[in-house]
């Protein structure tokens, strides 16, 4: 990962946190790591525990950010989510995985797509 793409990712995560807070979510944790993977944001939406993957891009050279979530990436996020639930001994709590896709555009507001229960 290049420095520029890491910066884009961090900016995207910060923006996603702001979006979630404005929607009334409570941010529990950021950048939860398990093994070689990571969940960008863990939050509560009311009583629901939400694992949020953030994908941010500066252009469409490799397609829209939503398409970066491959089946393998989905499996990895699910595995890390399960690990978090196990590690924190969470029981009887509804959970879901959301995706926040952000396309930054020069001189325009970013395009933001928040997909609830993405996969």
Q: Per-residue pLDDT for 8 more than 90? A: no
Number of domains in the chain: 1
Cβ neighbour number for residue 7 with a 10 Å cutoff: 12
pLDDT tens across 43-101, in order? 999 999 999 999 999 999 999 999 999 999 999 999 999 999 999 999 999 999 999 99
Q: Which CATH number goes with the domain that contains 36?
A: 3.40.1350.10
CA distance 94 to 50: 9
Q: What's residue 30's pLDDT? A: 97
Exposure string for 47-73, b = 16+ CB within 10 A, e = fewer: eebbbbbbbbbbeeeeeebeeebeeee
Which domain range does residue 52 map to?
3-115
CA distance 116 to 13: 16
Residue-averaged pLDDT of the chain: 94
pLDDT-based confidence at 2, cuts 50/70/90? confident
- Which comes out higher in pLDDT, residue 1 or 117? 117
């Amino acid at each position: 990962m290049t420095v520029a793409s890491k910066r884009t990712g961090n900016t995207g995560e910060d923006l996603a946190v702001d979006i979630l807070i404005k929607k009334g979510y409570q941010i529990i944790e950021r950048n939860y790591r398990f093994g070689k993977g990571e969940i960008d944001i863990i939050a509560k939406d009311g009583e629901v525990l939400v694992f949020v993957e953030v994908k941010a891009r500066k252009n469409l050279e490799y397609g829209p950010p939503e398409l970066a979530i491959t089946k393998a990436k989905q499996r990895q996020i699910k595995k890390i989510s399960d690990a978090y639930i196990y590690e924190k001994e969470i029981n009887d709590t509804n959970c879901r995985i959301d995706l926040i896709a952000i396309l930054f555009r020069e001189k325009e507001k970013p395009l933001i797509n928040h997909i609830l229960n993405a996969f």
